[in-house]
Structure 1
């Protein structure tokens, strides 16, 4: 599933190429992807709207239209592209939604697994209606504050791996970056969140910021099928210290990386570094 760096990369690409274009026509080929809206209402609210900005919050893409906010969640395999009507840079059979734009190009959404969702709300209600008001802060730009994370940790009975994956606590971290952050902080993912010291909580903030920002700079991590809006792959997979490195030697101590299920997710650990 695309995490914050991948979604930020897609948002940057779309923002660069969509601002001030008008959606002339909306066509949906998989009605169930339209989430919390009736399809007819979704089409009515998107057509003849100018795209003012594309951004993201955590794993959510946000299209600011003239009078609405359209929210896209890519889930496992969602991909956006901008091409002519005839061109498909992804599998045409996976095309689920397309918008005809005022310059003759088409904004297209592909999803092989059909898990992705899209919804549209008025600007004054989108946070509540989309449930985005329940999300925690993005761990970027020196966020979250230490006091915030400590207060959350003191009340939590979760394992630390589950804690930093909880989108209501930290928004945008998925399995790949959780593995990398905990390795860099030298924290075993099976430890109780309540057992963390102030120093360890500060290290989680530090490495969350550093790792996510570096991944954004490198346009994300391409492991399975992730590509940005122009079909470009990311490069952060070349920087991974533990994720997908089962039985490989740890770059720090030379011990073998192990893999186990923690909080229901495949978790890569160096037991010597992450005690």
Structure 2
């Protein structure tokens, strides 16, 4: 699933490609992609509107259309691409925005899990999925004290807390593994056992890694590409994720894959020593 660096990279690409462009009409080929309003209303509302700006909140993309805002989530493998109208359409093209100048913004999704919601812009602050999101990783409100205050009330793994979009918006499996490795914290550590110093290490590591990942265009671990059809390059700099049995880049010990918070989790057991509280019910190979 694209995480914050990938979605931000897509946003930047779309901003340069389609901001200021007019949607002449929209074509929906897979109705369930559009959650609200009805498909007929969706296509009617998009007739002749201008894309003013493309923004991001967590893993959501927000197309500012003036009176309306199109909110879209890529889920597992959704992607956008700009094409000439005469170019052949690739499989799994589910929504086409026919733009001015004979171009099309096409949404493709092999898994068909992506979503689109078109809502009045004045109702944006009341849109439930966005209301539930925690602060952005670079938000000044996200401090070590904020994080530790949440940790103190969570008798669950620190990985589970960091994956919770209500705590921090935009993190996913790849970057949580990388953040905890850099912070030298085992993913199965109970969140409530972590000190303020540990929370500070997580915040610092999170911002360093996300900045680097964005600068490298994100990680193309599976099928991710940006709005220009280009792969990211940060996967070449990953230290633990996807590196099972390979040597740790710091100490040389093999990276192992565990199951933590219901997710495949990559750790260096020397750099990230398992906490005493870990049990087989919480962590298993």
TM-score by structure 1 length? 0.96
Q: Confirm or deny: 8 A CA contact 2:148 2:194 kept in the other structure.
A: no
3-state DSSP of counterpart to 2:106:
strand
3-state DSSP of counterpart to 1:93:
coil
Equivalent residue runs for 1:192-207 within 5 Å: 192-207=190-205
Other-structure match for 1:52: 52
Instruction: Decide which of 135, 139, 142 is 1:137's aligned counterpart.
Output: 135
1:174-223 per-residue CA deviation (whole Å, 9 max, x = no partner) reads 00000000000000000100011111000111011110111001000001
In the TM superposition, residue 142 of structure 1 has moved relative to its aligned partner by 5.2
Other-structure match for 2:216: 218
Distance 2:128 2:248 in 1: 41
In the TM superposition, residue 143 of structure 1 has moved relative to its aligned partner by 5.4
1:178 paired with 2:173, answer no
1:223-250 per-residue CA deviation (whole Å, 9 max, x = no partner) reads 1110001110000001000001111111
Q: Confirm or deny: 8 A CA contact 1:142 1:209 kept in the other structure.
A: no
Q: Confirm or deny: 8 A CA contact 1:69 1:121 kept in the other structure.
A: yes
Distance 2:128 2:31 in 1: 18
Segments of 4+ moved more than 6 angstroms: none
In the TM superposition, residue 149 of structure 1 has moved relative to its aligned partner by 1.3
1:27 paired with 2:23, answer no
Equivalent residue runs for 1:12-91 within 5 Å: 12-88=12-88
Q: Confirm or deny: 8 A CA contact 2:36 2:119 kept in the other structure.
A: no
**Greater CA deviation, 52-61 or 36-45?**
36-45
Distance 1:143 1:225 in 2: 33
Question: CA-atom RMSD, angstroms?
Answer: 1.2
Distance 1:127 1:151 in 2: 25
1:254 paired with 2:260, answer no
Distance 1:131 1:224 in 2: 26
Distance 2:128 2:103 in 1: 28
3-state DSSP of counterpart to 1:32:
helix
1:34-65 per-residue CA deviation (whole Å, 9 max, x = no partner) reads 01321111112222111100021111111000
1:45-88 per-residue CA deviation (whole Å, 9 max, x = no partner) reads 22211110002111111100021110110000100011112325
3-state DSSP of counterpart to 1:35:
strand
Q: Confirm or deny: 8 A CA contact 1:241 1:250 kept in the other structure.
A: yes
Distance 1:26 1:251 in 2: 48
Distance 2:265 2:70 in 1: 34
In the TM superposition, residue 141 of structure 1 has moved relative to its aligned partner by 5.6
Q: Confirm or deny: 8 A CA contact 1:142 1:205 kept in the other structure.
A: no
Other-structure match for 2:280: none
5+ unaligned residues in a row in structure 2: which ranges?
274-285
Distance 1:87 1:261 in 2: 44
Q: Confirm or deny: 8 A CA contact 1:140 1:208 kept in the other structure.
A: no
Q: Confirm or deny: 8 A CA contact 1:33 1:116 kept in the other structure.
A: yes
In the TM superposition, residue 146 of structure 1 has moved relative to its aligned partner by 2.3
Distance 2:14 2:60 in 1: 13
In the TM superposition, residue 21 of structure 1 has moved relative to its aligned partner by 1.1
Distance 2:87 2:13 in 1: 18
Distance 2:163 2:37 in 1: 28
- Report how many aligned residue pairs link the two structures: 273
Other-structure match for 2:2: 2
